[in-house]
Amino acid sequence: TNLSFTYTLFILQTTYLMLLIESTYLEIGFGLHVISEILPSEVKHKVVEITNVFKELQPVLKVFTTIRTILLILPIVRELMELMLRTDVSL
């Protein structure tokens, strides 16, 4: 079933993209934190402002994580539904 393969591929690609965005966000946030420790105080406050913007984006990251989790669960649910439809579930 070609459609099933395409669907699974789409979910995997979307999940991978979300993981890339999440990890990039975390790496940049951590990098800014480390950099702010070694910068002179007059520059440090600017980096802290940028870091605060990253902290404000935290809820967006949580939404990404939730969507990614749902996307990973969807194929499993679909397979279970197909399996239930193919087998006789009468008690």
- pLDDT over 80 (residue 80): yes
Q: How far apart are CA 41 and CA 14, in angstroms?
A: 41
Q: Quick one: three-class SS letters along 33-58?
A: HHHHHHCCHHHHHHHHHHHHHHHHCH
pLDDT per residue as tens digits for the range 27-78? 887 887 787 778 788 787 887 788 788 788 888 888 878 888 888 788 788 8
Query: Which candidate, 75, 53, 70, 56, places its Cα nearest to that of 18?
Result: 70
Q: How far apart are CA 47 and CA 32, in angstroms?
A: 7
Res 9: pLDDT? 81
Res 1: pLDDT? 61
- pLDDT over 60 (residue 91): no
- Distance of CA 19 to CAs 32, 34, 52, 83, Å? 20, 22, 22, 30
